[in-house]
Structure 1
Amino acid sequence: MRNHTNTNANRRKFLKAAGSTGLLMGVAGCLGDQSDEAPANGNGDDDGDSDSGSDAAPEAGDTELVMTTSTSGSASFAAGQGIAAIINEYSDSLFLDVQTSDGSGENIGKLDRDEADMGYACDWNMVEFDEGEIDLTYTPYQVFHWFHIAWPLVTHHEWESAAEITSDSRVSPAPAGATGTRRPLEIALEHEIGGEYEDVSFGYADQGAAMSEGRLDVGVTPYINFDMEPGYVQELKSTVDLNMLEWTDETASALEEDDRVTTVEFDASWIDGYRFRPENPLVTMTNCKMFVRDDYPYDPIYNFLSTLWDNREELADYHAQLEPYTDDEHWVAFPWAQEIPFHPAAADFYEEVGLWEDDFIRGEEA
């Protein structure tokens, strides 16, 4: 949290980000080379610099809240700018500065170094935190749900089950470095076939060419918030005949019992263009939240959430990733399996608007 005493007459001058077409510029998910984003064209700007993307500045007396997202070509950064537009237009006490990063792993570190106040992290980050693999000087406190992605495996072969993958099959569970997506799929493949396959790495937009040239047997496709299909997935389906793979019942049961992996029965009935597609396959998923440190003050978080809530109907005008916030349940969707508390201001806010559940955990006030 940063208090400012300078003035700036150009405050709150924002341009709306591209609307729903902005989704095709980047996929929000634990993807890419240390990044949580996979640009729809497979390239994108992954410089990871701390760029706010705006010349706006806080007014005297404002509390500045720095939000760290992902790379500058990503959907998360664009969506964050949309949230900043709302906060900086309607709040009389907050100024939101949205900055780029390399994704959730860097976001966690930035909060640890007090370089940011809020950022997003994903369920795999919380697995690592819960198992002591990440050493932090703070406890993450949830604020609101950011996004979720379904990750079905796909192949150009006429296979219908992941059990048909063989030891010489070339499988790209996700690009190298995309730990939050890759590790759950690797765990699932360990349950299914003992992890016996040839591990390769392709960018999401490169999978079509790799399959058509015989360099890739199994890849993966993301479905953002379960109802958005990136353009490069549509291109993949037009390049090769594509099957969406199912896990066997035995593997599905094992995954549902494995606390390291988040799974969901994915309603795929709306998706066309596949040669074979199950109606409701069990898939691994990425589940990401905006979070703060446990010592972050109460009032800025409460004011942040109340301002967003009161103006949530406008969020979709800024980016497609923000459209689900018109559905009240999206704000607290898919709670992390790990016992990660909500910030006390968020807990009080959600209780007031009727979204608090008995099994949610309220954090201690700083």
Structure 2
Amino acid sequence: MVGSNKFDRRSVIKTMGATVGMLGLAGCSGGGNGDGEGSGGSSNSGSWTIGTSGEETATHASGVAFSSVINENSDQIQMSAQTTGGTTANNRLVDQGQIDIAQTTHNLLWRANRDEGPYSEPPVEKTLCQTFSYMTLDIFLVKRQGASSLEGVTRVEDLPEGTNISFGPRGTSAWDMANDGLGLVGIDNSQEYFNVSTMGLGDQATAMNEGRIDVCTCYTANQETLIGWIQQLDAQVDVDVLEWGISADQANSADVPVAVTDVPGDTWNQEISHDPYTALPLGYTTVIPSDISQELAYEYTEILMNNVEGVRSASAVLERFGPDFATEWLQPSGVPVHPGAEQYYKDNDMWNENLTTLEQFEG
């Protein structure tokens, strides 16, 4: 995957002083329990809020599951899940101190630690660290079969200008990855090229059923499970998957972290033309800022890794969670692993030397 570390940018941030600090904390309500424990530091206990996404999302299900397992098994951490505007917003909320930790993706962390995309103004001040991967969401677009303007369209690159489309709510990782994919097939500015409707992910099935949109973003979890609202779409609307047409070589040479994967057509109850079809997977991780103590991050990682069945039983999207999957989707460059998670991996012979430590990242 692409990426370089943030050494130069970090030194620039330090010289900007109080002005950037004020920008980065505008509207901050404070995370944790208000006395510094929630934001880590040297404390050996914490009351954390974990930011997720909308209630209908797999990301929220994972945050609720993690909170339940932590609360049942930890003497050091108490945790509650909070819905947010999405995984894109979560990194900013962690930086502002409005939440303590959050669910996000490997490529959004890469952007946040480089002050790119939605994190360019104001820049992110905290160093945001990854911990473990716990699922993928595999992004693709589907079309409504009854849309006359899309008759014969089988590939994303062939979508006509002005197509009625939804990427879901702005601020979700699915939005960003869908637009990364569009850029790779030559559609650089989707907001100008398409007629874009912004709506909740769970609203897309109804909107497509009513003919208000003809294309929408969908995803599987771990290349095998349709999320609940997409199951609703499957039951209500005749759709077909649009093939991305992006090769592994194209993905590997992209200037942002992108990968491709195959998803079997039988994930749908209805017949899909492409079997398998291509999706763009996002690796999900819990982001913990570097100012949370190594001890607490170690505790968080260890308890969840020691209670795999308790996590998996909470949601079908978490069925791959556990030590065998923990480092599979971590970003190798441009994003450090939190020292607490790093130490856990090294203690349990799970460390991958391709990963970046906080010490290497900060130089």
Into which bin does the TM-score normalised by the smaller protein fall? 0.7 to 0.9
Deviation at 1:342, TM superposition (A): 0.7
In structure 2, the partner of 1:284 is 280
Alpha-carbon separation, structure 2, partners of 1:98 and 1:206: 23
In structure 2, the partner of 1:188 is 181
Aligned partner of residue 295 in structure 1, secondary structure:
coil
2:241 paired residue among 244, 255, 260: 244
Alignment of 1:60-209 (within 5 A): 63-71=45-53, 73-74=55-56, 75-133=58-116, 134=119, 135-155=123-143, 156=145, 157-172=151-166, 174-178=167-171, 180-195=173-188, 197-201=193-197, 202-209=199-206
Deviation at 1:162, TM superposition (A): 2.1
Alpha-carbon separation, structure 2, partners of 1:358 and 1:163: 38
TM-score by structure 1 length? 0.71
Listed one character per residue, the Cα deviations across residues 22-48 of structure 1 (whole Å, up to 9, x for unaligned) are xxxxxxxxxxxxxxxxxxxxxxxxxxx
Listed one character per residue, the Cα deviations across residues 197-252 of structure 1 (whole Å, up to 9, x for unaligned) are 42322544444454455443322212123222123323323333321111235x76
Alpha-carbon separation, structure 2, partners of 1:187 and 1:216: 21
More deviation, 223-232/313-322: 313-322
Deviation at 1:71, TM superposition (A): 4.9
In structure 1, the partner of 2:358 is 363
Listed one character per residue, the Cα deviations across residues 242-271 of structure 1 (whole Å, up to 9, x for unaligned) are 21111235x765344213252221232442
Mind listing any 5+ residue stretches in structure 1 that lack a counterpart? 1-48, 53-57
1:265 paired residue among 250, 261, 266: 261
Listed one character per residue, the Cα deviations across residues 143-164 of structure 1 (whole Å, up to 9, x for unaligned) are 2224321111111244322233
Q: Is structure 2 residue 312 aligned with structure 1 residue 316?
A: yes
The change in CA–CA distance for 1:168 and 1:304 in structure 2 (over 3 A counts) is closer
Alpha-carbon separation, structure 1, partners of 2:301 and 2:242: 39
Aligned-pair identity in percent equals: 20
2:234–2:269 contact (8 Å) kept in structure 1: yes
Give the superposed CA RMSD.
3.3
2:70–2:78 contact (8 Å) kept in structure 1: yes
Deviation at 1:349, TM superposition (A): 0.9
1:184–1:261 contact (8 Å) kept in structure 2: no
Aligned residues: 308
In structure 2, the partner of 1:33 is none
In structure 2, the partner of 1:350 is 345
In structure 1, the partner of 2:21 is none
